[in-house]
Structure formats: structure tokens, C-alpha cells
Amino acid sequence: MIKIPPLPSWVRLPRQPLLRHLLFAVVGGVFFYFLTQSLSDFNNFELGELAVYAIAIAGLSVLTGTNGQICLGQGAFVAVGAYTLAELEVHQSINLALQLLAAAAMAGAVGLVIAVPATRLRGPYLAGMTLLLALALPFLSDKYGNFFGGDQGLTVPPPSAPASIDPVKWLTWIQLFCALVVMLLLANLLSSRFGRSFRAVRDDEVAAALAGVHVARNKVIAFVVSSACAGLAGGLLALSSGVVNTGEFPLSLSIFILAGMVLGGTGSIFGAWWGSILVIYLPNQWSQSLGNTFHFNHLVSANFAVIAFGAVLIVMMLVAPSGIQGGLRWLGRRLVTLSTPTEPAGNISVSLQRATEPERSHDGSEAEHPPNGSGAG
Amino acid sequence: MRLFVNITLGGVAEGLIFASVALGLVLIFRATSIINFAQGAMAMLTTFIAFSVLGKGVGYWPAFLVALACGLLFGGVVQLTLVRPVQNKPPLNAVIVTFGLLILLEGVAGAIWGNTNRGFPAAFSQKGLVVGKTAIAFSHFDIFIVVAVLALSILVGVLFRFTTIGLRMRATAFAPEVARLLGVRVGRLLTLGWALAAVAGALAGLLVAPTSVFSPSYMDLILVYAFTAAVLGGLDSPLGALVGGLITGLALAYVGGYLGDSLQPIGALILLIVVLMIRPEGIFSRPTARRV
């Protein structure tokens, strides 16, 4: 059921989320600016990739957490974005911002083709189709090797930085800037009319349709938004890896993104950062150091990341479906409740009941709150 | 003409394999409205177990039976431990759990047996039969595929139509609450349904392995083709799974034979899109009404 907050006056409320989200984005920007100044080049590079995966995860999170659909092949849309940017780079050099927009638009268009047939029905159709897409795309780039650059792939030169700025830092800034802008837009989308109908469709399609929401169109919009986010992430990923080839987009990329979303907190935009940390560090650093500690043989260490992500998906779904961000929010609410004993304690466990409903009513507007700030707003 | 006949024969054998995986998907879906994305990975694991048993030198048929028995056990255990807790949660939770199981099993198999491509022995000769004077692309092993999948389908049909357990399973799928009130042990039957579906999958795993490279991810594509087949057949009809499997197998065989193997996955995607656009309820689905 949708809960419509009481409107004291229609002028004030619509402005509030925008300003609030803008404030969070600016604070985030300042934080990241100082962070990049203090980090080494390598860490900045990693921070940039972290931002890129956070974009892809946030898009998926909006789709799954607020619209109740799932995409098992988010990696395929990342690939579409990356190849789009690389093809543009090879054939004609246009402005980087336009290239990134084209990457997002192309992935959104592919998403449209998938979403239109799959969203006409309730059921597991979208999940199956997106899994098929993720498995099929690598074959396509093998088949048309001339166009997609074959095994070597297409090379993408790093973006040219202004002379006074370190190129690595410049790329990191571009990636962080894009992540903050995307999250700002997503947060605003979720507090808009669209976000409300997304949630209405998630909770009860029939009721939403009776209330005048165009269910199929709504699902298509949510899916296109999610795939466009993945496409933008793909474009940005191509910039940092410098080369785009088939090997970079295996099925495991889709799995990593999905697991990142589940771990960070399904439906939470801020939670995408937690998930992204997992996606960046678990396959490489963490699995290496664990392997050294427990003396894995080479077969185990080659498969450790996949096993870990599979286990994360299953365990989180069974034990804590609202993820890290949901847990933090629960903790925050718990602290607020403890400090004000008059409040009834009944609403504490609500957030852990449904995976697709980590937030109670203001998904987007709370997305960037620190966990214990939500009680004050 | 000969090419066409050969492609068609290959398509029939492939299609029946898709049908047996699709049958597993349908058995689970009609009882619980869950698509088991781990259906292929579970079959992969039982086939690897058969591979290890074969390595002990016990011969093909004991290994074959061990794989089917492991499938039965494994399906039940998965339902009891992983699926039951998400049974009454939003459907996405089940999707994520079964997808997680898919990659967990692939990772575990990779860690135990390695990610290299291997070969898996076939029960019968894979050399093409000779009809008249021309060799056709249909072997003794393909005949075995046809017989095994048809036998499985008939067994499932007989089980559902002529036995008390089958009647109870149908009741469970049709109206779980009413069935429970009438004394049907719904939970146990759901477990049994998963176990049977896993047996169908295990059979498919053994049938696919000799015809393709054998590695932890060898069932991935088979799973999505079987999903296409199941959607084509309406997702809740076992007969539909069989027919959908044949149609998918033939369609993909023609795509592969005339346009190239690497276009098969895209072909399946296009088939799925076309089916969902034209007849989204599938060919054999019973009409359903959604209640508020």
C-alpha cells in the first residue's frame, strides 16, 4: 500500500527533497574532493571504479527495491555502454559528456527492447530474459569480431585532463561526479510522482492499476532507468580500463552487481556504496589475503569470489534481506526509540520483514541520510 | 535437403534435452510459482559426481544411477534448507536465492574439479547411423536421448494422473490451502516436487555432457534455453514443456545450422521476445485470473 504523507501546503513539500538531496550531493562532493587529495594514485583509481559500480548498483537497486523487478544481467547493459563509448571513440571523437550520455542512452534503448515484452506479465520473465541477454551478448561480439574488435577489443584512451591536474585524479573526479549526479537524479526520481507509482506497482499491481497508474509503462520506465545507469557505468568503466573486450563482461559481472545490491541494501541508493566496496575488494584483495591466510589451493582461490558472492546472495536473502543499509537504519531507529521511551516500539522490526521494502515511505528522501538522522526528519 | 534433415534430427535431440530441463522448471513453477535458476547448476553438480564415480572405474550405468539418486536427494535438501524459508516471501527473494545457488554451485564445482573443459563419456556410440547408404546425424546416443526423455515424461505423466501421490501433488499446486485442509501434507509434497524436478535435471545433465564441453558452466545456456522452452509451453504445463522444448530445439538448430552457432543465444532471446509479444501465456497454459 502506498502511504501518502499529509501535505500541509503543496508549494513547500515538493521543493524540500530536491534541496535536501542537493545538500547531500554537495557534502558528498566536498568529502570526495578532500579524500582524493589525500589518496595515492592507485587508491584514487580504485575509488573511481568504486563510484562506477555504485552507479550500476544504484540503478539496479531502484529497479528491484522500489519497482519490484529484477535484472540478472546488469553486466550486459554495462557492456552495451562500454562498447558504445568505445565505438564512438574509434569512429568519431566527440565530447566526452556526449559519449557518456550516448552510452547511457544506448543501454536504455536495449533495456526498452527487453522490458516491453517482459513487463506485460507478472512473473519471472524479466529475470530469465536478462540472464539470457547476459549470456548471449559475448557471443554476439565474437560473431561480429570486425565491428567489436575481436579478442583484443577496442581501445579507449583516457580522457584528456587539464594540464594542471593529475590525469588519474581527473578521471576519478569525472567518475565520482557522475556517481553523485546519478544518485541525485535517482533520489529525486524516487521522491517524485514516478517514485510513488514505482512503489505502488511493487506493492500491488492491481491496486496500482485501479488507482490510475499505468503499470506496464511504469515498469518499462523503471527498467530503462536501471539499464541507462548500467550503460553510464559501462562507459565510465571503459575509460578507466582503457580497453573494451568480451572478457571484461562475463556473467560474473552481473552476479557481482546483484550481490552488491543485495548486500548494500535493496532499494537504498546510499547502500549502493557499501555494495560497491564489496564488488571492488572481494574478488581481488580480500580473496587474495584470505587465500594467503588459509592456504587455498589454486582451484579454490580461482573460484573463491564466485563462491563468496553466491553465499552472500543466499545468506543475505535468508537472514537479512534489507542489507547493510537496512541494518544501519534499524540500528538508527533502535537508538532513537531507546532515547525516547514513550514511542511505541512496534515499528522496529518492520524494515526486516520484506526485502523489497527496506524503507517505509520515503525511499529516496532517506537514501542519503546518515542512519540515525532518519528519525529527526 | 540432407543438411536440412540432419539439422532437424539434431534439433529434435537437443529439443528433448531442453524439454527435460524445462520439465523440471515447470514441475517447480506450477507448485510454487518459483523459477529455479539453479536447475542447471544442480544438474551440473550431479553430473560431476557421476564423473567422479566413473573415475573409480565402476562403469557407466552405476554412475548414471548415482547421479539420479544424488539429484533426488539434492533437490529435496535444497527445498528444505533454502527454498522453504523464502516460500512465502516476495517472489524476488526466491529468484535471488536460486540464482545465488546457481553461482555458488558453479564456484564449488570449480573449486573441486577445476574450471577446465573436459569430456564426458556417452552411454552409446555417438557415431551417426547409416540409413540405406547415407550416414545421418543421428546416433545411438541420440536414440537414447529420445527414449530417456520420453520415458521420463511418461513416468511423470503416469505419476500425476494415475497415483494418489500425483493427485495430491496436483491438488497442492492447484489450491494449497484447500489441500492442506483436506489432509494433504503440502510441505512434504513440495519437497518431493523439487526432488523429482532435480531428477529430471540430473538426467538432462547426463545427456548434455557428452555432446558439449563439460565444465562447471556447461549448463548455463541449456538452462536459459529450457527457460525459453518452458515459457513457450506456458510455464505450468508438463506437456507444454515437452512441446516447447522441441520447438526451441528445432528453432535453435536451424539458427545454428544456417546462421552459425554463436547466434543461437541471440536467436533464443528473439524467440522469447516474439513469444511474449504474440502469445505471452504460452501454448499450453491453462487460463488464469488474477485476484485482487
Tens digit of pLDDT per residue, chain A (377 long)? Answer: 555 555 555 444 445 778 888 888 888 888 988 888 888 888 888 899 999 999 999 999 999 989 888 899 999 999 999 999 998 888 777 888 899 999 999 999 999 999 988 887 777 888 999 999 999 988 888 778 778 877 778 888 888 777 788 888 889 999 999 999 999 999 999 988 999 999 998 888 889 989 888 988 999 999 999 999 999 999 999 998 888 888 888 888 999 999 999 999 888 888 899 999 988 888 877 877 887 787 778 888 888 888 999 999 999 988 888 888 888 888 888 888 777 655 444 444 443 344 444 444 444 444 433 333 333 33
Pairwise CA distance, residues B137 & B5, whole Å = 8
Query: For B217-233, what is each residue's pLDDT tens digit?
Result: 999 999 999 999 999 98
Helices (H), chain A: 12-38, 41-61, 67, 74-91, 96-118, 125-143, 145-148, 167-190, 193-203, 205-210, 215-241, 251-264, 271-281, 287-294, 298-319, 323-339, 363-366
Reported as type and span, the H/E element at residue A135 is helix A125-143
Residue A78 · residue A250 · CB < 8 Å: no
Report if residue B228 sits inside a domain.
no
Find the helix packing angle between A125-143 and A96-118, rounded to 10°.
130
Put simply, whether A317 touches B (Cβ < 8 Å) is yes
Q: Which residue in B194, B195, B155, B187 sits closest to B168, CA to CA?
A: B187
B34 CB neighbours in chain A (<8 A) are 124
For chain B, the distance separating the N- and C-terminal CA atoms, rounded to the nearest angstrom, is 54
Domain membership of residue B73 as a residue range: 24-219
B96, B105, B115 ranked by CB distance to A302: nearest: B115
Residue B9 · residue B136 · CB < 8 Å: yes
The domain segmentation of chain A, as residue ranges, is 12-373
Report if residue B288 sits inside a domain.
no
Put simply, whether B35 touches A (Cβ < 8 Å) is yes
Residue A242, by phi and psi: left (phi above 0), alpha (psi -120 to 50) or beta?
left
Predicted model pTM: 0.86
The predicted structure's pLDDT at residue B245: 94
Report if residue B68 sits inside a domain.
yes
- C-alpha A363, offset from chain centre: 15
Put simply, whether B82 touches A (Cβ < 8 Å) is yes
Residue A298 · residue A317 · CB < 8 Å: no
Reported as type and span, the H/E element at residue A154 is strand A154-155
Do the chains contact at B269 and A321, CB–CB below 8 Å? no
Query: For A284-326, what is each residue's pLDDT tens digit?
Result: 778 778 877 877 788 888 888 889 999 999 999 888 888 888 8
**DSSP of B189-232:** HHHHHHHHHHHHHHHHHHHHGGGS-BSTTTTHHHHHHHHHHHHH
List, as ranges, residues 30-59 from A with C-beta within 8 Å of B: none
The predicted structure's pLDDT at residue A259: 92
Q: What b/e sequence results for A353-369 when a residue is b if at least 16 CB atoms lie within 10 Å of its CB, and e otherwise?
A: ebbbbbbeebbbbbbbb
Pairwise CA distance, residues A149 & A153, whole Å = 4
The predicted structure's pLDDT at residue A148: 81
Q: Which residue in B282, B286, B288 sits closest to B233, CA to CA?
A: B282
More confident residue, B89 or B148: B148
Put simply, whether B259 touches A (Cβ < 8 Å) is no
Put simply, whether B227 touches A (Cβ < 8 Å) is yes
Fold (CATH) for A12-373: ABC transporter involved in vitamin B12 uptake, BtuC (1.10.3470)
Pairwise CA distance, residues B227 & B271, whole Å = 11
Reported as type and span, the H/E element at residue B137 is strand B134-139
Do the chains contact at B260 and A143, CB–CB below 8 Å? yes
The mean pLDDT value of chain B amounts to 88
Do the chains contact at B103 and A128, CB–CB below 8 Å? no
The predicted structure's pLDDT at residue A370: 39
Query: Which residue in chain B has the smallest CA separation from A67?
Result: B92
- C-alpha A290, offset from chain centre: 27
Handedness of CA B181, B187, B189, B193 (dihedral sign): positive
Pairwise CA distance, residues B127 & A101, whole Å = 54
A267 CB neighbours in chain B (<8 A) are none
Residue B17 · residue B149 · CB < 8 Å: yes
Put simply, whether A127 touches B (Cβ < 8 Å) is yes
B97 CB neighbours in chain A (<8 A) are 313-314, 317-318
In the three-class reduction of DSSP (H, G, I as helix; E, B as strand; rest coil), residue A244 is classed as strand
Do the chains contact at A255 and B103, CB–CB below 8 Å? yes
Total number of domains in chain B: 1
The predicted structure's pLDDT at residue A37: 85
Query: For A71-104, what is each residue's pLDDT tens digit?
Result: 999 999 999 999 999 988 887 778 888 999 999 9
The predicted structure's pLDDT at residue A2: 54
Pairing label, strands A243-244, A154-155: antiparallel
Q: How confident is the model at residue B195 (pLDDT cuts 50, 70, 90)?
A: very high
Distances (CA, A) of A196 to A47, A107, A137, A187, A286: 32, 24, 34, 12, 39
The predicted structure's pLDDT at residue A6: 55
Distance from the A223 Cα atom to the nearest Cα atom in chain B, whole angstroms: 15
- C-alpha A369, offset from chain centre: 17
Residue A202 · residue A68 · CB < 8 Å: yes
The predicted structure's pLDDT at residue A329: 87
Residue A233: other Cβ atoms inside 10 A: 35
Put simply, whether B221 touches A (Cβ < 8 Å) is yes
Q: Is 80 exceeded by the pLDDT of residue B129?
A: no
Q: What are phi and psi of A351, to 5 degrees?
A: -70, -20
Q: What are phi and psi of B136, to 5 degrees?
A: -115, 160
Put simply, whether A356 touches B (Cβ < 8 Å) is yes
Residue A293 · residue A286 · CB < 8 Å: no
The predicted structure's pLDDT at residue A337: 78
In the three-class reduction of DSSP (H, G, I as helix; E, B as strand; rest coil), residue B281 is classed as coil
